[in-house]
Amino acid sequence: MLQIPDDLRSIPADHEVPGYLRNTYNWAYLDPRNCRILDNELIVGVILFGNHVRLRNAALAEIKTGQSVLQAAHVYGTYIPEVAKRVGPTGSLDCMDIAPIQAALCRRKLRGMPHARVRLADASKPGNGIYDVVSCYFLLHEVPDDLKQAIVTALLQRVAPGGRAVFVDYHRPARLHPLRGFYRKLFERLEPFALSMWDTEIRDMGADSASFEWSKQTFFGGVYQKVVARRIA
């Protein structure tokens, strides 16, 4: 059984995992056995059709030593400890997740890194901190559309002047992409909130997008995207 670390044992009595997570993603993010299986670098690489390292490194390229980073949710694989190593002991990493088991997995990866912390929180209510970099890595496609907007708006509010928000997620594949039909069927079956990523730009999800300079890079024939929002200083 996955043990909850001491610093996460005092879960508030009113803490509740959202219904969409229980009903849609229990198998992937709440079932302890599956969580242990899926939280594996090889499995993540298979799920992302061999693009995991490329996408991870693209996100890490936006982070520098000594910066303060907010991570919007736990990520399977090595992404989060790599962020902690990237900022180093002169920086800080603040991770959150809405599910206690995911927070526990995240905290286990960050043992021995006192400059990193993990807390239970909803990405649409990330607290009042201000950060050099806000990271949202493959989260938006897993939440309903209204929550996508709330999360993007809330995360942008946490970016310091001159800082940036980095979003890595799914994107509309090129029209003739050989896996376009496969992804549509996959999303319809397992990722019901993902198809809207094909039709809506991440910059259009935030309420204060005009305060940022936006850039987008796509990968694997448009299947994935990295969007960077730099707050205008």
Number of continuous H segments (helices) and E segments (strands) in the chain: 8, 7
Using a 10 angstrom Cβ sphere, with 0-12 exposed, 13-18 middle and 19 or more buried, the burial of residue 31 is middle
Question: At residue 145, does pLDDT exceed 90?
Answer: yes
What is the 3 state secondary structure string of 60-91? HCCCCCCCEEEECCCCCCCHHHHHHHHHCCCC
With tokens 């693209």, the residue in question is: 58
Domain ranges of the chain: 16-231
Identify the H or E element spanning 224: strand 224-231
What would the mean pLDDT of 161-172 be, rounded to a whole number?
A: 98
Q: Label residue 14 exposed, middle or buried (CB < 10 Å: 0-12, 13-18, 19+).
A: exposed
Fold designation for 16-231: Rossmann fold (3.40.50)
| H/E run at residue 114 | none
From the number of C-beta atoms within 10 Å of its C-beta (0-12, 13-18, 19+), residue 11 rates as exposed
Q: Tens digit of pLDDT for each residue in 47-96?
A: 999 999 999 999 999 999 999 999 999 999 999 999 999 999 999 999 99
Pairing mode, strands 116-120 and 92-97: parallel
pLDDT at 40: 96
Residue 8 predicted with pLDDT over 50: no
Model pTM? Answer: 0.94
195-218: pLDDT as tens digits: 999 999 999 999 999 999 999 999
